[in-house]
Amino acid sequence: MADTPLVNLTIEGRPVSVPAGTSILEAAKTVGVLIPHYCYHPGLPVAGVCRMCLVDVEKAPKLAPACATSVAEGQVVHVHAEKAREARKGVLEMLLINHPLDCPICDQSGECELQDYTYKEGRADSRYREPKRFNPVEDFGGDVMYVPNRCILCTRCVRFMEDVAHDAVLNVSERGDRAYIGKADGKDLTHPWAGNVVDLCPVGALLSKDFLNKARSWELDRTASVCTGCSQGCNMIVETRDNAVVRLRPRPNSDVNAFFLCDHGRLNYRWLNRGDRLEAPSLRGAAEPRATDWDVALAGAAAVLKGKRVHVLASPNLSNEALFFLARIAKASGGKAAFRVEQGPEAPLEGVEDLALRADRAANGRGAELLGLERSDTPLAGVAAGDAVIVADCELTPDDVKHVSKAGAVVLVSTFMPTGLPRVDVSLPICNYVEEEGTFTNLRGRVQRFLQARAAPGMARPSWYVLADLCNALGDRFDVLTAGQAFAALASSQSAFAGLSHDTIGLRGAPVNGATAGATS
Amino acid sequence: MGFPFKPHPRETTVLSKHFGEAEARSLDGWKARGGYQALEQALGMDPVAIQAVVKDSGLRGRGGAGFPTGLKWSFMKLGDGKPHYLCCNADESEPGTFKDREIMRWTPHALIEGCAIAAHAIGAETAYIYIRGEFTEPLDVMERAVDEARKAGVIGKNAMGSGKRVDVWVHKGAGAYICGEETAMMNSLEGKRGNPRIKPPFPAAAGLFGMPTTINNVETLAAVPPILVNGGEWYKKMSRPDNPKSTGTKLWSVCGNVQRPGNYEVVMGFPFKEFLYDLCGGPPKGRKFKAVIPGGSSVPIINMEEADAALMDYEGMVAAGTMLGSAGCIVMDDAQSIPRQVARLARFYAHESCAQCTQCREGTAWTTKILERMVAGDGTAEDFDTLMDLCEQMTGKTICVLSDSCAAPVVSGIQKFRGEFEALITRKTVHTVPAIVA
């Protein structure tokens, strides 16, 4: 856009300069003016059908749809002119004539654009005296349910499936006020990215079956995070209710995931609430492991590790910060740090460049590689009798178990107790990624931050904090009290991350040195 | 006036000259009547020269909007390296209009010739004739005529031996009024749902398959060959010299309460009163005219005071408070209930709304429900305000003008015949028969 000439106009009395070809709606956003709209979505082709974004452009004969009208030099736009307000009021009244007033039982309530704009600009009453149209609820397959009575036919879902997912399952069927969103015969919304239609729906017509009746939107706490479903690193929002994660939703980032999140990612949250967590550090003395306090456990861990070659089996879903310390411990002792990544079928979202559910089903494989961990199918193959093993938050294969059995000491740094682990000398409970802060590095080398969304159970501590303490106990001194400091320690010794900090990464992420700017640019 | 009747002496038959002559349907018959001379002449001409003749004639679009045809053609950038398309709008679905049907039934070659000339004039090699799905007979006639013309080499790779390619294809619609809207028609031709597109871009910039496209009505194209043969001056001179903005002849479809309904071809500016009483034979015995919708159902209704003073051209109809539209003239006598007729029209638009724009999708249906409730005797005084406000919302705010077309007869009906609506509300008038058969 750099060489596109700028156009100057006035919107609501504010001077605006935007590249030629920008819509009035997008231009207004740049000066903080929200033009109400339903069918427009920046990630979809323009339809211009809801007629909600009609604005008054001086000298134009008619109201102009802000989403479909390009800016012009010297244009003067009035979003809240009497004419435009009346038109929006009319649209709102018409959208509501066949819309059930069932907000109290509608999942969308509280995050519904129809509700919001009606409160803001709509009529207090309806003049509609005729019977309402009724259509039964339909199961669209996948995670999606369709409530046609609430549908305002903005066609966002239709355009998403057709133009972004390239799988035209949805259509507008029938005409006039009999119209509804239809599903192609014999097809279901089983596209791996189909769940996005639920987020795109501005009203409660398309609902997630998974989230159905689970929570009211105003009860949710929302936290910026990054999906761990695969190595794409889609930005997302973790929504919690009473400290339980109940929904994951995409967080827009034009460099990674545009506006979208795949179904695999969005439904991959139940394990975050699991009840069988390690809650207290424990130490195996002469007898059974026994809960203890952190100082004793860390000293115990250092004691069993000291003087041994330390092999690390790390989860590729641990943060860069945690992996950094793990790699250091292994390296200092002459051992090896390795990880294994679960694989799955790749599922691209056709309409967005370089966006896919990746075969690597873990968030930080790239980060682990950059930090010196080795990707391996037999990560513990090098364990010799008498060596020490740190199992960091991952399950074991029978092969791993065989190797761990040879070890002279086993330290578990984990959120849970892996099945089949033959012995544990010290167990150090850590937070999972929604309970701590940290960063992941996606497959294109983009470092992205995630924030804490819920409180950790019991005595569990952030992974980077536990591992920094362990390094300290082993004599590798770090002065780390925050995740940001942990990252700073990482950045000062790892050239790929040099110059980055939590502050510069922000919530949009930043590429490591030598990587392309981002996944989609 | 068409078959089986002879034209009225006051008609000026240019387009309807050969209506009722079965031989005119064949290629030979058409050639014997002077057909394809114009095409031969046109193929030897520079496209800009053809545009100039048509501009000079003052021919305006006969589909309803009345846009100057030559000017429309001149919007097509010749030699831009893109394929150009001509679409002939034969989706004549406007209630009350049936003139294009007769042109296609009786003089299919006139349309093919017009298409071929227009295609050449806009630099197109392909013309599509989009025929309304319900027009089975015109479709059959057109397909046969196109086949015949193609086989004879009149159209095709080497049209009339000129070395120029002009292909004409007939496409059948599937029964949607909205596909008569030019951008919806292009979507339909592309195999998509017939939804109107947002303008701009206008068809001349990005139309069918994203390429420069011109859309012309059947009657417009059929008028092109005689204009080319006889010259623009001839066409202009036929109509009233005091109004150079409306020239030539116009086919009027007349239906409703007249003695002789049918298609009439009269010159622009013909007095409407004489047309209704003289050519159409006046109202049925013992009745009086009450109202006329002169330009197809999308234009405002006028009462007889307005109609009697009106002249039958674009400007004359505007002066009378309505529009020429597609010249589908619906005449109502004093036995008709205006509320009932208006409700029927609204129901048509509610049925045909493509469901894109909110005001149209919900507004046309809501309007219909209110009107039908009024006709059934359950109306209230507030309904007037609601209706007028709804119609205001439905005017000028949507992608196409379908909802405007729904609002026009409703608003004008209420304004001019409010008493009839009030009589229903106060139950002075009671319709015992169900108002509308769905």
- DSSP structure class, residue A5: P
Dump pLDDT digits (tens) for A440-450. Answer: 999 999 999 99
Assigned fold of A282-511 = Rossmann fold (3.40.50)
Residue of chain A minimizing CA distance to B346: A176
Q: Mark whether B90 and B164 lie in a shared domain.
A: yes
pLDDT tens figures, B269-319: 999 999 999 999 999 999 999 999 999 999 999 999 999 999 999 999 999
Residue from A94, A97, A114, A156 whose CB has the most chain B CBs within 10 Å, to mutate: A94
Half-sphere exposure of B77 (CA within 13 A, CB side): 10
Q: Both B85 and B189 in a single domain?
A: yes
**Residue B405 C-alpha, separation from nearest chain A C-alpha, in angstroms:** 14
Task: pLDDT band for B438, please (50, 70, 90 cuts).
Answer: very low
B10 belongs to a structural domain: no
Is residue B290 located within the same domain as residue B380? no
Question: Which residue of A lies nearest to B177 if distances are taken between CA atoms?
Answer: A175
Same domain, B96 and B205: yes
- Residue B214 has φ and ψ, to the nearest 5°, of -120, 135
Instruction: Please give, rounded to a whole number of angstroms, the shortest distance from the CA of A184 to a CA of chain B.
Output: 14
pLDDT at residue number A37: 97
Q: What is the predicted pLDDT for the residue at B286?
A: 95
Residue B3 has pLDDT above 70, yes or no: no
Partners of A155 on chain B (C-beta within 8 Å) are: 356
Domain span including residue B289: 239-333
User: Which among B272, B300, B333 is the end of a domain?
Assistant: B333
What are the start-end ranges of the H helices in B107-243? 108-121, 136-151, 182-189, 218-230, 232-238
Using an 8 Å CB-CB cutoff, list chain B residues near A52: 358
Q: Which of the four CATH numbers 3.10.20.740, 3.30.70.2660, 3.40.50.2300, 3.40.50.720 does domain A6-80 have?
A: 3.10.20.740
Amino acid of residue B160 = M
Number of Cβ within a 10 Å radius of residue B285: 6
Write down the mean pLDDT value for chain A: 95
- Nearest alpha carbon to residue A369 among A231, A463, A236: A231
* Structure tokens belonging to residue B376: 């059934």
Integer Cα distance of B6 and A269 in angstroms: 81
Query: Which residue out of A96, A114, A175, A180 would a mutagenesis test of the B interface target, given it has the greatest number of B Cβ atoms within 10 Å?
Result: A175
* Architecture of the A105-112+128-219 domain: 2-Layer Sandwich (3.30)
Region class of B359: left (phi > 0), else alpha (psi between -120 and 50), else beta: alpha
> Which chain B residue shows the shortest CA-CA distance from A69?
B200
Tell me if B14 is assigned to some domain.
no
B50 and B123, same structural domain? yes
| A window 37-66, beta carbon within 8 A of B | 46-52, 54, 62-63, 65
- Decide if A153 touches B, using CB distance below 8 A: yes
- Nearest-by-CA chain A residue for B379: A129
Give the per-residue pLDDT at A514.
Answer: 78
Q: What was the pLDDT predicted at A521? A: 38
Edge-to-edge strands of the sheet including B167-172? B167-172, B124-131, B84-90, B213-217
Please list every residue in chain A whose beta carbon sits closer than 8 Å to the beta carbon of residue B178: 175
Flag whether B156 is in a domain: yes
CB atoms A49 and B357 under 8 Å? yes
For B90-145, how does the pLDDT look when each residue is reduced to its tens digit (9 = 90+)? 999 999 999 999 999 999 999 999 999 999 999 999 999 999 999 999 999 999 99
3-state secondary structure of A305: helix
Let me know if residue B109 belongs to a domain. yes
Counting every residue written for chain A, the total comes to 521
Q: Distance between CA atoms of A105 and A102, rounded to whole angstroms?
A: 6
Compute the distance between CA of residue A140 and CA of residue B136 in angstroms, rounded to an integer: 38
B436: in domain: no
The Cα diameter of chain A in Å comes to 89
Q: What's the pLDDT at B433?
A: 63
Q: Chain A partners of B354 at a C-beta cutoff of 8 Å?
A: 175
**Number of domains making up chain B:** 3
Q: Is position B353 within any domain?
A: yes
CB contact under 8 Å between A177 and B393, yes or no, is no
B146 shares its domain with B32: yes
- Specify whether B48 is located in the same domain as B196: yes
Quick: pLDDT tens for A22-66. 999 999 999 999 999 999 999 999 999 999 999 999 999 999 999
Pair (B115, B197) in one structural domain: yes
- Higher pLDDT pick, B171 / A286: B171
Among the candidates B278, B313, B333, a domain finishes at B333
Residue B434 pLDDT > 60: no
The phi, psi pair for B188, rounded to 5°, reads -65, -40
Q: Is the pLDDT of residue A173 over 60?
A: yes
Cβ-Cβ contacts under 8 Å, B350 against chain A: 176-177
State CA A335 to chain mean position distance: 35
B232 with B247, same domain?
no
Query: For position A4, what pLDDT does the model report?
Result: 85
Answer whether A95 sits within 8 Å of B358, measured CB to CB. Answer: yes
- CATH code assigned at B349: 1.20.1440.230
Q: Are A177 and B353 in contact (CB < 8 Å)?
A: yes
Tell me whether domains A6-80 and A105-112+128-219 share a fold.
no
Residues B65 and B116 grouped into a single domain: yes
| Segment A347-373, tens digit of pLDDT | 999 999 999 999 999 999 999 999 999
Residue B303 maps to which CATH number? 3.10.20.600
Tell me the pLDDT band of A286, cut-offs 50, 70 and 90.
Answer: low
Phi, psi of A214 (to 5 degrees): -85, -40
| Cα distances (angstroms) measured from residue B37 to each of A326, B113, B353 | 91, 9, 42
Does any CB of chain A come closer than 8 Å to the CB of residue B358? yes
Residue B11 inside a domain? The answer is no
Say if residue B351 is in the same domain as residue B329: no
Strands A426-429 and A388-392: what pairing?
Answer: unpaired
For chain A, the structural domain boundaries read: 6-80, 105-112+128-219, 282-511
Are B394 and B407 in contact by the 8 Å Cβ rule? The answer is yes
Q: What residues contact residue B432 under an 8 Å CB cut-off, 6+ apart?
A: none
Chain A, chain B: beta-carbon pairs less than 8 Å apart: 91
- Do B63 and B135 lie in one domain? The reply is yes
Query: Is B365 a member of any domain?
Result: yes
The 10s digit of each residue's pLDDT in B340-397 is: 999 999 999 999 999 999 999 999 999 999 999 999 999 999 999 999 999 999 999 9
**Of residues B100, B94, B172, B185, the one with CA closest to residue B134:** B172
Q: Where are the alpha helices (DSSP H) in B290-417?
A: 304-308, 314-319, 338-352, 358-375, 382-393, 402-416
Contacts of B389 in chain A (CB under 8 A): 90
Q: Touching check for B362 and chain A: CB below 8 Å?
A: yes
pLDDT of residue A518: 44
Q: What is the pTM of this model?
A: 0.94
Which residues of chain B are within 8 Å of residue A98 when distances are taken between CB atoms? 362
